[in-house]
A and B are shown apart, each in its own frame.
Chain A
Amino acid sequence: MSKTLLVAGREFTSTVFTKGFIIGIVLTPVMILIVAGAIAATQLLKGPTPAGTVAVIDRTGKVGPLIQQRFSKEAIDKEVQALKEKAERAVEQLAGPAAQQGQGKVAMSFGQQQLENQVRALESVRVEVLPSDTDEAAAKEPLKSYDVAQARDGSEAGKAQRMLVAVIDKGVLERNERGEYSTYGIFTAAKLDPEVKSRIESKIDKAIVDARVAGDPRASAGKLTAEDLRALLASPISDTKSVTKEGIKRSSGGLKVMLPMAFMLLLLMSVMTGGQYLLTTTIEEKSSRVMEVLLSAVSPMQLMVGKILGQMCVGLLILTLYSGMGIVSLIAFSLAHELSVMLIVYLFVFFLIAFFVIASMMAAAGSAVSELREAQTLMTPIMMIVMVPWLLWLPISRAPNSMFSVIMSFVPGINPFVMMIRLSSTEPPPTWQVIVAIAIGVATAVICAWAAAKIFRIGVLMYGKPPDWRTLIRWVRMA
C-alpha cells in the first residue's frame, strides 16, 4: 500500500509541479479573469468621446427640431434612467430579487456604468439645423478639414468642428406610391469614430420616426405618440415564479439553463485532464524504458493503481479549483442560493465514478502502446464517451425526467455525465434513480479497472506493433 501511495505521490507532483500544468490549468482562468477585467476597465476609461457638430439639412421642416431635442440634456437624462431600469430588470430576471440587495448590483453596475458614460457623452454634441435651401456641397466642405487630434483634446475649437451632415428629404416622412419611405443621407468626416457615428445615427432615426408618427393623422387624432407606439410594440416581459412545497420562489431563468451545462463541463474537464495525463505519463514510462525499473520494485497492479490515484488527485484539484471559482463568483453575484450542498457532493461522487472508468481505459491504452500517436486508435471509445454528453446535454436538460433521460442515466460510461446534467437541472431526478445510477457507475468502474489491470500487466512490457481493441480483449481473457 505504501508503495502505491509513493507512486501516486510521484504521479501527482510530477504532473502538478510543471510549468505546463501551472500555466495551463491554474493560471489560465486567472489570466482570463485578469484580461476580462482589463478589457472592461479600458472600455470604462476610454470610450470614444464625440466632439463636434452635427449639421442637419432639413427639407421637411419637422425633423430638425426633433433631432435637436434628442440631443438635449433632459432627453439624455431620460435615456440614462431607462437604461438603469432595464439593467435592474435584467439582473432580477437572471438571478432573482436577492441579487438586488447584494454585491450583484455592484458587479452589474460595472458594465452598466460604461453604457451610461457613452450615452452621456452625446450631451456635448451640438446640432445645427440648416435651412432647406442650403447648398449641400458647401455644407459638406468643413467635413474635409475634420481633425481627429483636435476633436480629442476637448478644446472649444474641437467641439466646433463639423463631423457629420445629415440630409433629410421630404420623402423620409412621406410615403411614395409603393408605400415606402425614402432613405436619408449621412455624410461623415473620413476619420469619424464609427461608434460615435452609429450613436448619432440612431438618434436621428428615432427623431425621424417621431416626426412620422406626429405627422400621421391617425396617430395625432388618437393622441398616440411615438413613445406610446414603442411601448406598445415592446415584447412583454414575464415575471416567472415557480411554486414549490416551500412556497413561491422567483425562478431565475438564465442561470438555471446554464447550470447543467456548467456541471457537465466541470465533470468532463476534470476527468479528461486527469485521464489525458495518465495516458501520457504511462506512455512516457514505456518509451523511456523506466517501466521495468519500476516493475522491479512494484507490481504492475501497484503501479497502475498508484498512477490512477495520483491522477485522481490531479483531477480533484482541478475540480475543486474550478468549482470553487464558480462558487465564489456565484456568491459575488448573490446567486449562491441556486446551489445545494448535495449537488456539490454528487459532483464529486460522479467525478470519482467517471474518472475511474476513463482512467482505467486510459491506463490500458497507454500501457499497450509505445508512442502517443499509436494510442489514437485505442482512444476512439474513450472519445465517444466524452462526446456523447455534448450531444445529450440539450435534450436531457430540456426534459430531465423523460424516458430518454432516465434510460441514458443507466447507460454505463456516460451515466455520470447524464446524472450530473439531470441533478443540476430544474427538475432533479428521484433519489432511487440517483442510487441506481451510482450503483451502475461503481460497477462499471470496477469492471473497467479489473480489465485494465489485466491489459496493463501484459501491455507494460510489450513493445513493437501496437495492438487493436480485439487484441486487448484477448489479453483480458488470457490473463
Chain B
Amino acid sequence: MPEAIEIQGLTKTFGSKIAVDHLDLTVPTGSLCGFIGPNGAGKTTTIRMIMSIIFPDSGELRVLGRTSAVESKDRIGYLPEERGVYKKMKVGAFLAYVAKLKGVDAGVARQKTMAWIDKVGLHDQLKDVHKKKCEELSKGMQQKVQFIAAVVHEPDLLILDEVFTGLDPVNRRLMRGLIDEQHKRGCTIVFSTHAMYEAEQLCQRVFMIHQGVKVLDDTLSGIRAKFDPRTIIVEPMDAEIGGSESGVATLEALRSVRGIRNVEAVEDRQGVVTEYLLTMEERCSPREVIPEIARVAGMRRVELKKVSLDDVFIDLVTRSGDTSVKREDLRMNAEEAAHV
C-alpha cells in the first residue's frame, strides 16, 4: 500500500518570503499524525499544497498514490483553517451540497448529512437545525457543521487544520472522540494544531515545521525517548572552544561521571560550546548524577530535559533563536534534534 502522503523537497515562496523550504514528509497510510509549528511556520501552506489548492515551486508530492490531489479530492476530507459556511444557506442544504460536490449521490448525501447532524449532537443543541440558516448557528455549532462537511463522504485521508480552536472543553472532547473514530475506521488523519495537549492525546506521529523547515518528525514514543529525562543539559560556566584544551578537559571530566554513557558538545558557529548534552545510563537516577556533575565542572546551568510536547515545541522554536535565525542553523538544529 502506498503512503498516504509523500513529500520530497517541497518548496514554496511568496515573493521574497520562503514559506516552505525543501520539506520532506511521509505520512504512512492509516496513521494519525499531528502537524505542529508556530504561527506562520508554513503549516497551512503545506496543507494547501497537499490539497493542490496552491502549487509548489519545486519538489515532489504524492497524495493517496496520485501526483495531484485534484484526482483524489473525493477521497480526501479537508477542514481548512480559513473555514466558513454559506451564511444564507440552510444547514442541511449546505452539507448535502458539499457532500454532492465530493461525489456522494444526492439521495445518500441527505441521509448521511442527517445522520451526522444527530451524531455530533447538533440536533440536541438546536431543534430542526438542518432547516436553520447557517448564520443562525453559534460559532461552535458552525465548527461542527464544518467538521461534518469534511467527513461526510467518508474520506481515506482527513486533513484538519486547527480543528480545536473555538471549541469549549466539552466539544473538544467530543471532537477528539470523533477524530479517533475516523481513525479507527481506517482513515489516515493529519491534523495541525497549536494545542499540544490534544496532539499528545491523539497522535501516533508528530511533525513540526518552523520557518518552513521540518524540525521534528517522529512517533510520539520516539519523541519521548529523544527528549527523555535520560538527557541532562549542562551549560559551562566559561565560554570554551570545542576541541581546545579546556574544552577537552571539561568533556573528559563529564565523561568520567559515573552513570553517564555519552557526552556531546553543542557548539555555536564560532565553535564556542554553548552546552553539553549528557546521556545517562539506563539504571541511573538523575538525583545521583547531577550533584556529581556539579562537582567535576563549573556549571552555569544543569538541567534535566523534559518530555512534554509543549516543551519540545518551545524548545525547538526558541533554540532556533526564533526571529533572527538563519535557515542553515535551523536545519542544523533540526538534525541535532533528530540525533539527540
Residues of A within 8 A of B (CB): 3, 6-7, 10, 14, 18, 284-285, 288-300, 461, 463
Give B29-86 interface residues, CB cut-off 8 Å to A.
48, 51-54, 70, 73-74, 76-78, 80-86
Would you call A293 and B100 a contact (CB within 8 A)?
A: no
Contact A295 to B51, CB < 8 A, known contacts A14-B89, A288-B84: yes
Would you call B84 and A461 a contact (CB within 8 A)?
A: no
Point out the residues of chain A lying under 8 angstroms from B85, CB to CB: 288, 290, 293
Contact A293 to B70, CB < 8 A, known contacts A10-B97, A298-B101, A461-B53: no
Give min CB distance, A290 to chain B, whole Å: 4
Whether a CB of chain A sits under 8 angstroms from the CB of B205 is no
Would you call A6 and B97 a contact (CB within 8 A)?
A: yes
Whether a CB of chain A sits under 8 angstroms from the CB of B98 is yes
Give B74-117 interface residues, CB cut-off 8 Å to A.
74, 76-78, 80-89, 97-98, 100-102
Main secondary structure of the interface of A (DSSP, over half): helix
Would you call B88 and A14 a contact (CB within 8 A)?
A: yes
Residues of B within 8 A of A (CB): 48, 51-54, 70, 73-74, 76-78, 80-89, 97-98, 100-102, 146, 149-150
Contact A293 to B83, CB < 8 A, known contacts A3-B101, A298-B73: yes
Q: How far is the CA of A173 from the CA of B70 in the complex (A)?
A: 95
Would you call A297 and B98 a contact (CB within 8 A)?
A: yes
Contact A293 to B51, CB < 8 A, known contacts A6-B101, A10-B97, A298-B73: no
Give min CB distance, B200 to chain A, whole Å: 27
Q: Which 5 A-B pairs have the closest CB atoms?
A: A289-B84, A296-B78, A292-B80, A297-B101, A290-B84
Contact A296 to B86, CB < 8 A, known contacts A10-B97, A461-B54: no
Sample of 22 A–B contacts (CB below 8 Å): A3-B101, A6-B100, A6-B101, A10-B97, A14-B86, A18-B88, A284-B87, A285-B86, A288-B86, A290-B84, A292-B53, A292-B78, A293-B84, A293-B149, A294-B101, A295-B51, A296-B51, A296-B80, A297-B73, A298-B73, A299-B73, A463-B82
Would you call A288 and B53 a contact (CB within 8 A)?
A: no
Give min CB distance, B211 to chain A, whole Å: 20
Give min CB distance, A262 to chain B, whole Å: 34
Q: How far is the CA of A295 from the CA of B47 in the complex (A)?
A: 12
Give min CB distance, B318 to chain A, whole Å: 29
Point out the residues of chain A lying under 8 angstroms from B80, CB to CB: 289, 292-293, 296
Q: How far is the CA of A309 from the CA of B30 in the complex (A)?
A: 39
Give min CB distance, A393 to chain B, whole Å: 37
Q: How far is the CA of A295 from the CA of B53 in the complex (A)?
A: 7
Q: How far is the CA of A288 from the CA of B89 in the complex (A)?
A: 12
Point out the residues of chain A lying under 8 angstroms from B51, CB to CB: 295-296
Give min CB distance, B153 to chain A, whole Å: 9
Beta-carbon nearest neighbor of B78 in chain A: A296
Point out the residues of chain B lying under 8 angstroms from A299, CB to CB: 52, 70, 73
Q: How far is the CA of A291 from the CA of B146 in the complex (A)?
A: 12
Point out the residues of chain B lying under 8 angstroms from A289, CB to CB: 80, 82-84
Q: How far is the CA of A288 from the CA of B101 in the complex (A)?
A: 19
Point out the residues of chain B lying under 8 angstroms from A6, CB to CB: 97, 100-101
Q: How far is the CA of A14 from the CA of B86 in the complex (A)?
A: 10
Point out the residues of chain A lying under 8 angstroms from B77, CB to CB: 296
Point out the residues of chain A lying under 8 angstroms from B146, CB to CB: 293
Q: How far is the CA of A7 from the CA of B86 in the complex (A)?
A: 13
Q: How far is the CA of A290 from the CA of B80 in the complex (A)?
A: 9
Would you call B87 and A288 a contact (CB within 8 A)?
A: yes
Q: How far is the CA of A298 from the CA of B53 in the complex (A)?
A: 9
Q: How far is the CA of A290 from the CA of B83 in the complex (A)?
A: 6
Give min CB distance, B94 to chain A, whole Å: 9
Q: How far is the CA of A295 from the CA of B100 in the complex (A)?
A: 14
Beta-carbon nearest neighbor of B153 in chain A: A297
Point out the residues of chain A lying under 8 angstroms from B150, CB to CB: 296
Point out the residues of chain A lying under 8 angstroms from B76, CB to CB: 296
Q: How far is the CA of A463 from the CA of B81 in the complex (A)?
A: 13
Q: How far is the CA of A230 from the CA of B201 in the complex (A)?
A: 103
Point out the residues of chain B lying under 8 angstroms from A461, CB to CB: 48, 53-54, 82
Give min CB distance, A252 to chain B, whole Å: 47
Would you call A293 and B53 a contact (CB within 8 A)?
A: no
Would you call A296 and B53 a contact (CB within 8 A)?
A: yes
Beta-carbon nearest neighbor of A18 in chain B: B88
Point out the residues of chain A lying under 8 angstroms from B89, CB to CB: 14
Would you call B86 and A290 a contact (CB within 8 A)?
A: yes
Q: How far is the CA of A207 from the CA of B88 in the complex (A)?
A: 70
Q: How far is the CA of A14 from the CA of B5 in the complex (A)?
A: 36
Q: How far is the CA of A295 from the CA of B84 in the complex (A)?
A: 12
Give min CB distance, B223 to chain A, whole Å: 30
Q: How far is the CA of A288 from the CA of B85 in the complex (A)?
A: 7
Beta-carbon nearest neighbor of A306 in chain B: B101
Give min CB distance, B113 to chain A, whole Å: 15
Give min CB distance, B41 to chain A, whole Å: 18
Beta-carbon nearest neighbor of B161 in chain A: A292
Give min CB distance, A472 to chain B, whole Å: 16
Point out the residues of chain B lying under 8 angstroms from A296, CB to CB: 51, 53, 73, 76-78, 80, 150
Q: How far is the CA of A293 from the CA of B79 in the complex (A)?
A: 7
Give min CB distance, A116 to chain B, whole Å: 53
Point out the residues of chain B lying under 8 angstroms from A7, CB to CB: 101
Would you call A292 and B82 a contact (CB within 8 A)?
A: yes
Point out the residues of chain B lying under 8 angstroms from A3, CB to CB: 101
Beta-carbon nearest neighbor of B159 in chain A: A296
Q: How far is the CA of A159 from the CA of B100 in the complex (A)?
A: 78
Point out the residues of chain A lying under 8 angstroms from B82, CB to CB: 289, 291-292, 461, 463
Q: How far is the CA of A295 from the CA of B82 in the complex (A)?
A: 11
Give min CB distance, B90 to chain A, whole Å: 11
Give min CB distance, A471 to chain B, whole Å: 11
Q: How far is the CA of A462 from the CA of B201 in the complex (A)?
A: 34
Beta-carbon nearest neighbor of B74 in chain A: A297
Would you call A292 and B83 a contact (CB within 8 A)?
A: yes
Q: How far is the CA of A7 from the CA of B150 in the complex (A)?
A: 17
Give min CB distance, A4 to chain B, whole Å: 10
Point out the residues of chain A lying under 8 angstroms from B98, CB to CB: 293, 297
Give min CB distance, B313 to chain A, whole Å: 26
Q: How far is the CA of A290 from the CA of B98 in the complex (A)?
A: 11
Point out the residues of chain B lying under 8 angstroms from A10, CB to CB: 97
Give min CB distance, B160 to chain A, whole Å: 11
Beta-carbon nearest neighbor of B102 in chain A: A297
Beta-carbon nearest neighbor of A462 in chain B: B14
Q: How far is the CA of A299 from the CA of B76 in the complex (A)?
A: 13
Give min CB distance, B109 to chain A, whole Å: 11
Beta-carbon nearest neighbor of B101 in chain A: A297
Point out the residues of chain A lying under 8 angstroms from B73, CB to CB: 296-299
Point out the residues of chain A lying under 8 angstroms from B48, CB to CB: 292, 461
Q: How far is the CA of A202 from the CA of B170 in the complex (A)?
A: 87
Give min CB distance, B230 to chain A, whole Å: 43
Point out the residues of chain A lying under 8 angstroms from B100, CB to CB: 6
Q: How far is the CA of A289 from the CA of B86 in the complex (A)?
A: 9
Task: Name, among A18, A285, A290, A294, the residue most crowded by chain B CB atoms within 10 Å (CB to CB).
Answer: A290
Point out the residues of chain A lying under 8 angstroms from B70, CB to CB: 299
Q: How far is the CA of A288 from the CA of B133 in the complex (A)?
A: 14
